[in-house]
Amino acid sequence: MSDKSGGEPKKVHGQIMSAFAESAKAAENLNFSHPSLGQRYPHQNPQHCPHPEGAPENELGDPLGAPMTIRDVARVFGCSEWTVRQQYLPKGLPHFRLSPAGKLLFFHNQIVRWVLEKQRQKGGMIR
């Protein structure tokens, strides 16, 4: 009953699938426009998965946060780049050294966690 020209649908893994792809002229027959091209079965491979309810987006998608330069960190702390390099790095401020010349990379969420931990150690209030 099913012919190769896109006749009857068939079942694959318990789901009904179209037989149009088996036709040699399937795309020509369906007259797809360019924007509609994409996954054949998007419900099987979703492109967008929403975050579970109540979960902050940055905790799931990017645990490190945005990359920052030493200048950005100094602005967040309200101090100079020299102070960040000379006082906060020796105290354990998390960073990555990108080159032997001393270029440093920081990540926003790591910096925030470090500051909150330092406040807890000193008995400060965290709101």
Rg (Cα) of the chain, in Å, rounded? 27
* pLDDT per residue rounded down to tens, the chain (127 residues): 544 555 666 777 777 766 655 555 555 555 555 554 555 555 555 555 555 555 555 444 678 889 999 999 999 999 999 999 999 999 999 999 988 887 899 999 999 999 999 888 887 666 5
Task: Tell me which residue of 20, 24, 29 sits closest to 2, measured CA to CA.
Answer: 20
Residues 58, 61, 63, 64, Cα dihedral to 10°: -90
Domains observed in the chain? 1-33 (no CATH), 58-121 (1.10.10)
User: Taking the model in full, what pTM does it have?
Assistant: 0.49
